[in-house]
Amino acid sequence: MVCSLQARTEAAIAPFSGFPALEPRFLARCTFFRTDEERSKGRVLDFGLSFGEFSAVRNSICTALYRDAVPHIPGQPVEELAGRIRRVVDTNTNSHHITPNRLLLQWLCAEAICAWTLVQVRYDRALAQRPADEIRVNEASSRILAQPRPAHVCSGKAMVLRDLANALTSSTGLRCWYVGGWLRGMGDPTPKDSNHAWNCFTFEGGVLIPADAALGVEAEFARRQKRKIANAGILPLYREAWELFLAGHFGFLKQPGQEHGSTDLATTRDNLQDLLFSEWAALPTGPLRSLAQLLEDDGKWP
């Protein structure tokens, strides 16, 4: 599968050769690199583990949270909820006999918070059809988490995820940002107006990694999984995931309280790609459609 995946990736991104902004930006610990090219162009993340060890503990944390290891308690303060999620990380690293370094602890906490938000905060499709002012009235994380069954649109989910992660900043150093911007499917027209929100984490050494847990999945589907899902959109490690994410997302990090502030599209560059909106909108994404279809099955990821 890896050889096939690499071949399909090469074919899909070949048309981007004239667009340096979409050169591969995948990240992985050096032992995760599959080719010399990846080793030369990728950035090292030193988790202090082999890939097998990393994958096993990450998957155990994610699947535990998919299966309700931290059930929702309406009205529970964000700090207490974040602490319960952190305990799942600690329990699983201990059971795998791992003493995580600072980067690995941050990464696993980020994976855990994304897994909890993905399943526990539903995407409210009915609310998405309402006027923007109505949507924003109750999008604060405290209001969403006060609901018996938390639900909101992408902006509210992104705020919940951000606030949970930042509740762990003092103990782990992990930081998380709300990102507002544009989302497009591969080969689809670029939306004229901003239409999506997601998150970016800042890890040890200032490494910035995106996570789009906003749309969510059906809880029953998630509970049946035996490994992490949504690899292309949540904390991408591999070249394929980065190519898809960068081609599909364009956005800006937002400070708390300024999530819906206006941005000068003519001069402001995307925080991950260093592209202006006009440059990103002009990039052809059709060639990536086949790669996106190939990777819809999360079981095909390494």
Q: Per residue of the chain (302 residues), what is the pLDDT tens digit?
A: 445 666 766 666 666 655 555 555 666 554 566 677 777 777 778 888 888 899 999 999 999 999 999 999 999 999 999 999 999 999 999 999 999 999 999 999 999 999 999 999 999 999 999 998 889 988 999 999 999 999 999 999 999 999 999 999 999 999 999 999 999 998 899 999 999 999 999 999 888 999 999 876 788 888 899 999 887 789 988 777 888 888 899 999 999 888 888 888 888 888 888 889 998 998 888 878 877 777 766 555 55
Q: pTM of the prediction?
A: 0.91
Query: In this structure, is residue 98 part of a structural domain?
Result: yes
Could you tell me the two tokens for 87?
């305990």
Query: In this structure, is residue 19 part of a structural domain?
Result: no
- The total number of structural domains that make up the chain: 1
Buried b (16+ CB within 10 A) or exposed e, 250-285: bbbbbeeeebeeeeeeeeebbbbbebbbeebbebeb
Amino acid, res. 222: A
**C-alpha distances out from residue 187 to 184, 232, 248, Å:** 8, 17, 10
Angle between helices 154-166 and 78-95 (to 10 degrees): 70
- The residue with tokens 């990102």 is 179
Query: In this structure, is residue 41 part of a structural domain?
Result: yes
Query: In this structure, is residue 100 part of a structural domain?
Result: yes
- The residue with tokens 């937002």 is 254
* Spatial contact of 165 and 110, defined as CB atoms under 8 Å apart: yes
* Spatial contact of 202 and 212, defined as CB atoms under 8 Å apart: no
CB atoms within 10 A of CB 11: 12
Range of the domain at 116: 2-12+24-256+265-300
Query: In this structure, is residue 17 part of a structural domain?
Result: no
CB-based burial label for 133 (10 Å; 0-12, 13-18, 19+): exposed
Query: In this structure, is residue 223 part of a structural domain?
Result: yes
Query: In this structure, is residue 18 part of a structural domain?
Result: no
